[in-house]
Amino acid sequence: MKQIPLKIALFFCLVTIPIVALFLMPYSKEFAYHYIESDCYNHGAWIFDRITKNQVPIDVAFIGSSHTIHAFQEKKMEEILKSNDHLANFGYCRYGRNLQYSLLKLLLQYKSPKLIVLEVSEDEEKNSHDIFPYLAETSDLLSTPTLINRDYLSDLYRGASARLECFKATYIFNEKHQEVDNSLYGYGEADRTATKEEMNDNEKAWKKRLERKTIKSVEEIQLKYPLAYLNKMVELIKGKNIALVFVYLPESGSKLKSPKLVKYYQRIAPLLIPPQSIFDDSTNWMDASHLNNKGSEILSTWLATQLKDELCINPEH
């Protein structure tokens, strides 16, 4: 057997030891959530501060994508519920169950919500969220719930780079975080109305997407990745005896009146499907994917009524 040349062995050690050290060193969650300040309206920093520093309770938490950010007006819903419950919108731009899993873990570490409202869309996103490696705990980053994870290596690379920046900021430059908006509410204001061209283009794109043939066996394998994280989320929620409901938030152009995995969700928890009239009205949309203030007020009013009448979220008598 040939021995590995000394130079190659030394090079290997010089490369791998620092990388291993990055994953072994403490990784500040506060740094992580502030590090992504250029993404999604700096919503990450707001989420971290609302959960970990603001002493106001969180009784109902909304978790989802930017669709959630622009869908649920917490203050409006609190007024309709007429209770002492505090609502918080923790939507984050783009899809990815693994990121939502990380957000949920942070939430349950610091707060004790009564209810989690979890967004579902037409279908499950089958890839890793691009922000996941920055926010994930190291143990969650290194492990993967399924054997097939096409983003695993890229997540490791991004995770290592974030941890290197954390080391530099903490031990070399002693950088401080900028102050963030300390509002209780995460809803994203939007008074714009989508154009006809935007709505038509989205409908055409969805038509092509739905006509595209997929191999069932391949799709089932791909679905195992997001559903593994969804099941982990459900396990955390139910393990703390927290109520869970799903709410369906489609795009304007899909015209799908229910999600593709409707039966799967219904086996886990109640699935609330808003009236189709909300989504059919083009004046309710900021763009083809997100509701504007008008649309979100209608949706928020509807959902608050559902929570009050059907789930009895501490209504005043």
Report the CATH number at residue 266.
Answer: 3.40.50.1110
Would you mind telling me the total number of residues written for the chain in this entry? 317
Compute the radius of gyration of the chain from its Cα atoms. Answer: 21
- Kindly state whether residue 291 falls inside one of the protein's structural domains: yes
170: Cβ contacts below 8 Å, ≥ 6 apart: 28, 31
What one-character DSSP code corresponds to residue 284? Answer: G
Backbone angles phi, psi at 119, to 5 degrees: -70, 140
- Kindly state whether residue 11 falls inside one of the protein's structural domains: no
Q: Report how far residue 71's alpha carbon sits from residue 89's, in angstroms, rounded to the nearest whole number.
A: 9
Domain range enclosing 52:
40-125+179-309
Q: Report whether pLDDT(60) > 50.
A: yes
- Kindly state whether residue 133 falls inside one of the protein's structural domains: no
- Kindly state whether residue 86 falls inside one of the protein's structural domains: yes
Query: What percent of the chain has pLDDT above 90?
Result: 81
Which contiguous run of DSSP H or E holds residue 206?
A: helix 196-211
How far CA 40 is from CA of 67, 69, 124, 128, in Å, comes to 12, 10, 20, 17
Q: For the chain, what is the domain count?
A: 1
285: Cβ contacts below 8 Å, ≥ 6 apart: 193, 194, 199, 252, 291, 292, 295
Q: Report whether pLDDT(3) > 70.
A: no
Q: With H, G, I as helix, E, B as strand and everything else as coil, classify residue 73.
A: coil
109 versus 311: which is more confidently predicted?
A: 109
The confidence score (pLDDT) of residue 301 equals 97
- Kindly state whether residue 208 falls inside one of the protein's structural domains: yes
Task: State the pLDDT confidence band at 46, using cuts at 50, 70 and 90.
Answer: very high
Task: State the pLDDT confidence band at 317, using cuts at 50, 70 and 90.
Answer: very low
Q: Report how far residue 47's alpha carbon sits from residue 33's, in angstroms, rounded to the nearest whole number.
A: 8
- Kindly state whether residue 221 falls inside one of the protein's structural domains: yes
Asked if 252 contacts 202 with a C-beta cutoff of 8 angstroms, the reply is yes
Q: Report whether pLDDT(73) > 50.
A: yes
Residues 120-137: pLDDT tens digits? 999 999 999 999 999 999
Task: Tell me how crowded residue 195 is: count the other CB atoms within 10 A of its CB.
Answer: 13
The confidence score (pLDDT) of residue 179 equals 75
- The answer, as to whether pTM is greater than 0.75, is yes
Q: How far is CA 129 from the centre of its chain?
A: 9
The confidence score (pLDDT) of residue 316 equals 47
- Kindly state whether residue 270 falls inside one of the protein's structural domains: yes
The DSSP secondary structure of 125-167, one letter per residue, reads --S--TTHHHHS-HHHHH--SSS--TTHHHHHHHHHHHHHHHH
- Kindly state whether residue 150 falls inside one of the protein's structural domains: no
